[in-house]
């Protein structure tokens, strides 16, 4: 293969580069890239939508529980006595923790533990005990836990009913994914928007057709729906129906 002739090309003052690949080196640097959006004046957050924040941003546990749409009729009463384990069962993002936090709201001061993978989490005494991600506990620790004279509310990815009953507790299973329907989701989304309200007056709306589209797209994964709506609210220009 015949090479191109070597040529010196100035790069910057006092320096040159020997090149044989043709005049591809620029005499000065050039820029590429998508650029950036022009700055906008700093105003109150989401004031254009009559909101204080993005309604589908991350909420603190208290706020999340306050606006949860769950129907736990009679469960709180049954949990008053020891001997019951309520397992909230489902896949990622279906609303297990929201269910648990909503129940926890009815028991101020009750112990709550979030189990983290690979970390030995202390399980405090108390009744009822709320455990998030109970499936991450080793089986031996779970058995010891269920041996306590207390009631439990657990979120889990795997069905622990048999294990619970072997330990002499009554098991009650809640499957948030099965209780989700378009109407309930529409109500839940409307509550989130309402919770972020700034002033009186109209607010953006997540219409029924949009909720149906989200259910088609994400099934029972509410977290992914919220993430999608977060992006929609970031770009929403004014108070109107949301489009994804």
Partner 1 sequence: MSKCELEVVFDRDDRTYRPGEPVRGEVVVVTDQDVSCKGLTVELLWQTHGAGNTDRTVLETLALAPGPWSPGLRHRYPFSFTAPGRPLTYHGHFLNVDHCVAARADLPWALDPKVCEEYLLLPGPESYREHLATPVDFTVTPSATSGAAAKAIGWLLLPVFLVLLAALLVMVLPLVLVIGGVVLLRRWFAERRLGRVSVEVNGPEVGQPAEPGVAKSVASRLGVIARPFTPRAITPGGEVRFQVRFQPRTAVDVDRVVVRLAGTEECRSGSGTNAKTHTHTLCEETSVLAEGVSFIPGVPMELTGVLPVPDLEAYSFRAHNNALRWKLVVEIQVPRWPDWKRDHPLAMVPGPEAR
Task: Catalog residues that contact partner 1 under the rule CB under 8 A.
Answer: 6, 9, 11-15, 17-22, 24-26, 29-39, 42-45, 52-54, 57-58, 60, 92, 97, 114-117, 119, 133, 136, 227, 230, 234
Q: How far is the CB of 52 from partner 1 (least distance, A)?
A: 7
Q: How far is the CB of 25 from partner 1 (least distance, A)?
A: 5
Q: How far is the CB of 112 from partner 1 (least distance, A)?
A: 13
If DSSP codes are grouped into helix, strand and coil, which group holds residue 163?
Answer: helix
Q: Is the dihedral of CA 231, 232, 233, 234 positive or negative?
A: positive
Q: Is there a contact between 242 and 236 (Cβ–Cβ < 8 Å)?
A: yes
Nearer to partner 1, 47 or 209 (CB): 47
Q: Which of 41, 107, 104 is nearest to 68 (CA)?
A: 104
Using CB atoms within 10 A of its CB, is residue 239 exposed (0-12), middle (13-18) or buried (19+)? middle
Q: How far is the CB of 78 from partner 1 (least distance, A)?
A: 25
- Report the alpha-carbon distance of residue 175 to residue 157 in Å, rounded: 10
Q: Give the contacts of 166 (CB within 8 A, at least 6 positions apart).
A: none
Q: How far is the CB of 217 from partner 1 (least distance, A)?
A: 19
Residue 199's H or E segment, with its range, is none
């Amino acid at each position: 293969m015949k090479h191109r002739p070597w040529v010196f090309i100035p790069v910057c003052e006092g320096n040159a580069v020997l090149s044989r690949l043709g005049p591809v080196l620029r005499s000065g640097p050039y820029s590429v890239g998508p650029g950036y959006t022009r700055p906008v004046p700093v105003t109150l957050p989401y004031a254009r939508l009559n909101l204080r924040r993005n309604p589908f941003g991350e909420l603190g546990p208290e706020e999340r529980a306050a606006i949860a749409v769950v129907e736990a009729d009679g469960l709180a009463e049954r949990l008053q006595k020891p001997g019951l384990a309520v397992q909230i069962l489902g896949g990622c993002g279906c609303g297990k923790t929201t269910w648990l936090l909503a129940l926890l709201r009815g028991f101020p001061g009750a112990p709550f533990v979030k189990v983290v993978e690979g970390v030995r989490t202390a399980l405090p005494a108390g009744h009822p005990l709320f455990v998030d991600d109970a499936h991450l506990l080793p089986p031996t620790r779970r058995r010891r836990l269920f041996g306590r004279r207390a009631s439990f509310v657990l979120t889990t990815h795997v069905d622990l009913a048999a294990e619970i009953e072997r330990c002499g507790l009554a098991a009650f299973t809640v499957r948030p994914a099965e209780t989700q329907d378009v109407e309930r989701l529409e109500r839940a989304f409307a509550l989130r928007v309402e919770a972020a309200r700034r002033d009186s007056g109209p607010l953006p709306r997540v219409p029924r057709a949009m909720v149906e589209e989200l259910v088609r797209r994400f099934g029972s994964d509410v977290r992914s729906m919220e993430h999608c709506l977060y992006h929609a609210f970031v770009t929403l220009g004014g108070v109107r129906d949301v489009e994804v």
